Each structure stands twice: as C-alpha cells, then as structure tokens.
A and B are shown apart, each in its own frame.
Chain A
Amino acid sequence: MAIDPAVVGTAQPAVTVDVEPGRLRAFAHAIGETDPVYTDLEAARTAGHPDLPVPPTFLFGLGAGDFAWLTGLGVDLRRVLHGEQHFTYHQVAHAGDTLTLTPRIVDVFSKRAGSLQFLIREIAVRRDDGSPIADLRETLIVREPAGAS
C-alpha cells in the first residue's frame, strides 16, 4: 500500500526518555562492547565522563517503542528494511540524562515502479536543559509484495 505523500513535513509527537544505566549496559553487552567505560561507572569517571557514556548508535530507535508510527502509516513492519542512517553528534549523552527526541517525516518517494517506497525521517535529540545532543536522519525502505500495486 502506498504511503500518503501528505505525511511529508509531519512533526511527530516528541518523546522523552530517561537514559538508564542498566539499559546502557545491556546495549553495550548486545554489541559486544568490552571497554569498561560503557559499563563501569568508575572507569567512565576515570575517563572524564560524569556517568556511563552512550555508544554512538544507541540513540537510534530510542523511544520508538514497537514502531507504532510505521504501522500507523499502514506499513507492514516485516517489509521494512533500513536503507541508510546518519548521526551528527553535538555532545555525548550519559546515563542519567533525560533526552527529548523530536521526529519529523521529511520525505516519501518510490522507486522501481512503486515496488520500493522510501521514507525519510529526521530526529532531533536534546537534553532536558535544551542543549543539543545529536541529529539523526534515517531512510527506511518498504518493499511491496511482488504483483502488488
């Protein structure tokens, strides 16, 4: 099913997330990170961090829940592939930070006679003191079933 191009420019509801140390440790473990700076508070402080630092890709999907925004657009999650991901960092976030993510759909287009639909979203991430943490840009590709139009 084609995504309605009218969604381009839609500002999605901002999501506020507390960066929890347990979640950071679970993430570090899941990506095989062995540097103790990501899991051990003392190691983090020795390295000059106020608390456990956030690994560069941790911010993706933060607060996205079960991708309800995609299913809300009529997208079948099983047909979604990640096409491209960009992060621009302003400062590193740490455990204990409260972050607000503000997503916006910036483009929707199709290729290969509509069999591939591209959905581009930008997400601004700010700390609760207003300071910028990062800007994300993601390209998702929805593969339409063969024969569908």
Chain B
Amino acid sequence: MPAWSAIAKGDELPPLELRLTRADLVRYAGASGDFNPIHWSDRTAAAVGLPGVIAHGMLTMALAGRLVTRWVGDPAAVRSYAVRFTRPVVVPDDDAGALLELSGKVGDVREAEPDSCRVATIDITARFAGKTVLGRAAAEVVLPE
C-alpha cells in the first residue's frame, strides 16, 4: 500500500497487462447487456468495414478502471472517470487474444472539500499493439488519509 500522504505528481501506479479473448467479449456482452454484433461477429465487423471484431470500449474502460480502484483500494474514492476511445482493440478468434497494457501516473494532487481531503488525478495510458487506444483518460480519486 502506498504512503498516501507522500503521493505526488509523477508517481506511477502498478501497471496491468491483460489478454482479451473472444470469450471475454462474450462474457462482457452478457454482463453489460451490450450485444452489438460488432463485438462478436466477424461477418458483421467485415460488413461495416471494421478491421475485425472489436472489444467493447466500455470493457477497455472498465479494465483501465481496475488499475485505479485496486491502487486506491475503494470504488467509493472515485470522483470522476473519463476517456476518449481513439482506436479499436481488435480481438482475434484465437487463444492468445489481444494484449492490453495499462499504466497510470499521478498527474496532479490537490486539496478539496469536504474536510480538505486530497484528490489525485490519475492519467491513464492504455496500449494495444503498440498504440494508445484511449485518449485523455483520467480519473479523480480521493486519497485515503
């Protein structure tokens, strides 16, 4: 667990590497209720000009969110979370799937209400195939005492 009072701009969060397979997309479709066929049907993805079946943007966002919540330790600490989906994560129909590399860095720490709590902005980087797939991805979290 980090020494919270010493957290400062530039500190890095423990990175997270994940592999997404078609099974993960099907599971997320069921759990989220997003059954858009571009997330499971090669035929549909090809018909609408996509490079392949792509992961739900919200799955990538959820995985990147784990990076933040496991660091701060509490989902209730999250004050805001926002991303732009800048590139698709193409998930092949094989066992290896797509490798997603997630990392985060403290971009800012400031005092905020109530009770002068310390709020950190975490800048998140998500990479797939060597390129970023999220833009302006950031979460604001209340740091523990």
Contact = CB atoms under 8 A, between A and B. Distances in A.
A88 B36 CA distance: 26
A78 B37 contact: yes
Interface string A88-131: 11011000000000000000000000000000000000000000
Given A55-B65, A78-B47, A84 B58 contact: no
A26 B30 contact: yes
Contact of A30 (B32, B38, B44, B47): B32
Interface string B76-89: 10111111110010
A80 interface: yes
Nearest to B54: A81
Given A31-B28, A47-B74, A64 B58 contact: no
25 contacts: A26-B31, A27-B31, A27-B32, A30-B28, A31-B28, A31-B31, A31-B63, A33-B66, A35-B70, A47-B74, A53-B75, A53-B76, A56-B69, A56-B75, A60-B32, A61-B33, A67-B34, A78-B38, A79-B48, A83-B84, A84-B84, A85-B83, A86-B82, A88-B80, A146-B49
Given A60-B32, A61-B34, 20 more contacts: A31-B65, A32-B18, A35-B70, A55-B69, A55-B75, A56-B69, A57-B81, A64-B33, A78-B38, A78-B44, A82-B56, A82-B57, A83-B84, A85-B58, A85-B85, A86-B80, A87-B80, A87-B82, A88-B79, A145-B48
Interface of B: 18, 24, 27-28, 30-38, 44, 47-49, 56-59, 61-63, 65-66, 68-70, 74-76, 78-85, 88, 139
Interface of A: 23, 26-27, 29-33, 35, 37-38, 47, 49, 53-57, 60-61, 64-67, 77-89, 91-92, 143, 145-146
